[in-house]
Amino acid sequence: MDQGDGNSKISSVYINNTHGMDDDDFYDRNLALFEEEMDTRPKVSSLLNRLANYTNLTQGAKEHEEAESIGEKKKSPQMGTFMGVYLPCLQNIFGVILFLRLTWVVGSAGVLQGLCIVFICCCCTMLTAISMSAIATNGVVPAGGAYFMISRSLGPEFGGAVGLCFYLGTTFAGAMYILGAIEILLMYIAPKAAIFESKHPEGEGAAMLNNMRVYGSICLLLMSLLVFVGVKYVNKLASIFLACVIVSIVSIYVGALVSAFRPPSVQVEKTTYLWKRFCQGTELNASCDEYFNSNNFSKIEAIPGLASGIISENLWSAYLSKGDVVEKGSLHSSLVSHPASTHQPYVFADITTSFTLLVGIFFPSVTGIMAGSNRSGDLKDAQRSIPIGTILAILTTSIVYLSSVVLFGACIDGVVLRDKFGDSVKGNLVVGTLAWPTPWVIVIGSFFSTCGAGLQSLTGAPRLLQAIAKDNIIPFLRVFGHGKANGEPTWAMLLTALIAELGILIASLDLVAPILTMFFLMCYLFVNLACALQTLLRSPNWRPRFSYYHWTLSFLGMTICLALMFISSWYYAIVAMVIASMIYKYIEYHGAEKEWGDGIRGLSLSAARYALLRLEEGPPHTKNWRPQVLVLLKLDEDAHVKSPRLLTFASQLKAGKGLTIVGTVVSGNFLQSYGEALAAEQTLKHLMDKERVKGFYQCIVAQKPREGISHMIQSSGLGGMKPNTVVMGWPHAWRQSEDPQAWKTFINTVRVTTAAHLALLVPKNISLFPSNSEPCTEGYIDVWWIVHDGGMLMLLPFLLRQHKVWRKCGMRIFTVAQMEDNSIQMKKDLATFLYHLRIEAEVEVVEMTINSDISAYTYERTLMMEQRSQMLRQMRLSKSDREREAQLVKDRNSMLRLTSIGSDDDDDTDVQMTWTKEKTSQYRATHSGCSTPEGFRDMLSIRPDHSNVRRMHTAVKLNEVIVNKSHDARLVLLNMPGPPKNTDGDENYMEFLEVLTEGLERVLLVRGGGSEVITIYS
């Protein structure tokens, strides 16, 4: 019955599992095949469940996953496009420049050039907004806004550099807004509040700057305290400040419309008043100022009105130099010997104006487009709200700016527009004279709006710095990642206030504006670059919801940003770029490594693929040949590198250029030794970092080391970037080693490299080679050019001498002349050859008669070598016999035990052994030469092979000459003879190499790859 219930329960799953087993349990049972991998490869249901709870966090980022795990229930974001993006962008874009400087910009540049300035700046921000919308809708953008977008798109180096530039821009923007607020306060609200006053007109400017510094510093302190106490108060005030901005702008439009029907009765000055001010009495014959007498001074309407046609006069530019008198464009002053006196109430230009200067001053009034993307966590649908809200805000502000330029040009007289501080209109704010119903609407509104913008900047900048510091890409900024318990950035706020104070100490709005213009333009430039790059690379993850973008628009935006930087101030542009470059290089060398899947990494992949495919088109030309090195390192039982100096030597040879692959072989089975292979790779990585070798590391697991090395030589590299040179160590103390595998692996590697047409470098006595901290102060690198194998012997000393260790070493080239050679002519030819190769070296030709009589020493040495080889062979044979006998006994015992257990009729079982006692004795008698005295006598009576004697003679003679000439050399480079074709002579080959290099401290055996690596042609 129970069984039946169980069956019905299982079957009910297929029908309607309301009372049966839990779905998840059944699902897990169905996935039993994958249960061992559940911790690394989660079920699809688990993944989807996690994504459903996803809120404003970067996917895969460890710190955000930790934040999720805390389990705090956050309020679901409710803000829409209007409140969440549109209004914050409006508040950030509209600022101090609109009220304090736009009239002056229009008056100086004229309506046409004014429209051009506004249009260029608005185009720049619009194109940047399109790029930003694409990036912002390609995933969730957390706190950090522009910094986050750039760093995740272009990598930590660009992100850090541009993030800090954006931070500095925002901080200086705060300083600019504070200066604007203080200018409104001291000029238009409470002029008597000035602390510093000058008795002489020449000092008024300096006194005003000092007032700005004092009041600006006090204002900054109060604002910083407000932000420090709580950002919630700033957010509550934001809506009030925004209302002030909107009311002020509306009053300007209403005033302009009213002026069409009833122009405001604002006159520049009254005639009687003018006479009193410029003459010593009211009488007509009173003595007057020379400049006043020479020119026609008349009363004009400051605001002729919209219907007056004054726009025709204001269309064209009227740039002034510093100290020029502000005058009506149609009534130029006469050129008199007496300039205008500063003691009289003339209006002078305080700075020299130009189109480029005005661009730099106006541009900050279009910044602030990132406000929406910074609030993505508070939006109901960020993917939809950010593009719509930002672009609508830019369109609105652009229309307001463009229409304001036309209205100012059409309503206000040009001479009043050029009066920056409104001295000619009774010290009123120029734009205030146009406003309706009273100028105080603009004055009060602009004061509060600039205060609000300053607070926003001082609130946003520390959080941006905190975001950069928390990413841990710039080590010295880590301290600014900490803050109060509630996350408020205390230290970052302090630094922001100090930097803003620097801006306030400059004290001039016109000088601070171009500074933040540079930083914002650089930020916008990289936003456009990020979008263009991602679009052109076509990364699989590049799928923005905002589809109205194109790489050409991003590229155009980038070009405009770059042009505006140099148009507004080329020296500020260079300074900003230098700062960004220094930060970039600092992060590159000292910053933490981050893998953010950025576009630069994608660009590197695309560039690498393109370059590799180009390299595949054909073998490299001799002129382009450079050693692409595969360094073979051996690890001991504790996974430590046995000869780390091999890598040191490779780094000296490379001098930072070309490809370096460091490889090792781990003996064993890949399935069991995978962890060991990873540990070996980490060991190689640490050694490469220590030796400052830039390259790749590779570990191969193989049953036999020689097979692993062979596989590595065959498979290393990719396409045209394959190693062409192998560097490996000499088998140390190979004669004393009982196990012949070390030197047999060495010879096998020599054969493999030869078969693969690779060059081979074998440093002997590698432990005596100098480290990177032990430069050779004198001495020679000696090259013994016995045979020509592609010119490696010529090229290697040249490459080594590029490194600081070998730089001061001279170079000597020795070659060997036979009996039939003309040694004098050889020396001349070699000197000419080196001259054409552009290599400086001393040349010497050594005469050596190879066919001279073979010395008794050579004969004895050959005999000892062959006797030793035969003795070792016999010892190995006897050892293998003993092992074979032990195995035979073991096999016999196990066979008998199996048959006795597994068979009932074990009496009839006849085990046939392959090796019997008679067979073993016979084999040992025939094969063992050293187990009997006769065997020893046979071995002692052998005569050495004639070819071996000749080889030994060559080795001995060459060694004598090399030791004689190069005993004091810092390094000796020598042709490495090839191994014998018959493997029986391998041990003799090792002996020849030992004899050839005896008595030399540092030797580099060189074997070419069969191709020419050096050429005399250009």
Taking residues 482-508, what's their average pLDDT?
A: 87
Over range 747-759, report the average pLDDT: 89
What's the rounded mean pLDDT across residues 312-319?
88
Q: Domain residues of the chain, as ranges? A: 2-52, 81-266+313-319+354-586, 625-766, 776-886+932-1018
For residue 551, pLDDT over 70 is answered with yes
pLDDT at 545: 82
Q: Residue 178: its pLDDT value, please?
A: 93
Each residue's pLDDT tens digit, 628-674: 899 998 888 777 888 888 888 888 887 556 788 999 999 888 888 88
pLDDT at res. 159: 80
Look at residue 677 and give its three-state secondary structure.
Answer: helix
Amino acid letter at 652? Q
- What pLDDT is recorded for position 785? 84
- Kindly indicate the confidence band of residue 31, based on its pLDDT and cuts at 50, 70 and 90: low
Contact 174/224 with Cβ under 8 angstroms?
no
pLDDT at 499: 94
Q: Check residue 727 and give its pLDDT.
A: 92
Closest to 871 in 3D by CA, of 936, 774, 941, 795 = 936
DSSP for 576-636 reads HHHHHHHHHHHHHHHSPP-----HHHHHHHHHHHHHHHHHTTSPPPGGG----EEEE--B-
d(CA 930, CA 888): 23
CATH number of 81-266+313-319+354-586: 1.20.1740.10
155 Cβ neighbours under 8 A, 6+ residues apart: 594, 596, 598, 599, 600, 601
pLDDT at 303: 82
Tell me the C-alpha distance between 630 and 698, whole Å.
10
Band of pLDDT at residue 778, cut at 50, 70 and 90: confident
Radius of gyration from C-alpha coordinates of the chain? 43
**Which residue has better confidence, 285 or 688?**
688
- Of the pLDDT bands very low, low, confident and very high (cuts 50, 70, 90), residue 734 is confident
pLDDT at residue 145, as a whole number = 64
Tell me the C-alpha distance between 471 and 163, whole Å: 11
Q: pLDDT (tens digit, 9 = 90+) per residue, 244-290?
A: 888 999 999 998 888 888 776 655 544 455 656 666 666 666 666 66
Lowest average pLDDT, out of 11-15, 229-233, 425-429, goes to 11-15
Name the residue type at position 370: M
Q: First vs last Cα of the chain: how many Å apart? A: 96
State what percent of residues in the chain have pLDDT above 70: 72
Three-class DSSP category at 335 = coil
Q: What is the average per-residue pLDDT within 993-1005?
A: 86
Sequence-distant (≥ 6) Cβ neighbours of residue 864 within 8 angstroms: none
* CA-CA-CA-CA torsion sign (421, 427, 429, 434): negative
Q: Which residue has the higher pLDDT, 989 or 550?
A: 550
User: Of the given ranges (280-294, 398-412, 494-508, 967-981), which has the lowest mean pLDDT?
Assistant: 280-294
- At 320, list the tokens: 């002034």
> Where is pLDDT greater, at 897 or 235?
235
Q: What share of the chain is helix, strand, coil (3-state, %, to 5)?
A: 60, 5, 35
How far are the Cα atoms of 811, 847, 960 from residue 966, in angstroms, in the given order?
A: 12, 15, 10
- Mean pLDDT across the chain, nearest whole number? 77
Per-residue pLDDT averaged across 563-590, rounded? Answer: 86
- Mean pLDDT lowest among 145-159, 487-501, 546-560, 785-799: 145-159
Model confidence at 483, pLDDT cuts 50, 70, 90, reads confident
**Phi and psi torsions of 336, nearest 5°:** -115, 160
In order of 403, 582, 585, 591, 767, the CA distances from 472 in angstroms are 46, 17, 15, 8, 40
Q: What is the pTM of this model?
A: 0.67
CATH superfamily placement of domain 625-766: HUPs (3.40.50.620)
pLDDT at residue 559, rounded to an integer: 95
Question: Mean pLDDT over residues 355-381, rounded?
Answer: 82
* Among 91-100, 136-145, 192-201, the least confident range: 136-145
Flag whether pLDDT at 500 surpasses 90.
yes
Q: Say which residues have a Cβ less than 8 Å from residue 599's Cβ, sequence separation at least 6.
A: 153, 154, 155, 530, 533, 534, 537, 539
Q: Are 364 and 173 in contact (CB under 8 A)?
A: yes
**What pLDDT sits at residue 789?**
75
- pLDDT for 604 equals 75
Q: Give pLDDT tens digits for 925-971.
A: 544 444 444 444 454 555 656 677 777 777 778 888 888 888 889 99
| pLDDT tens-digit series, residues 861-894 | 665 666 556 655 565 555 555 556 556 555 555 5
**Does residue 608 register a pLDDT over 90?**
no
Does residue 973 come out as left (phi exceeding 0), alpha (psi in the -120 to 50 range) or beta? Answer: beta
For the residues 379-384, what does the mean pLDDT come to? 79
Tell me the mean pLDDT in the region 196-202: 75
Q: Do 568 and 532 meet the contact criterion of CB atoms below 8 Å apart?
A: no
What confidence tier does 61 reach under pLDDT thresholds 50, 70, 90? very low
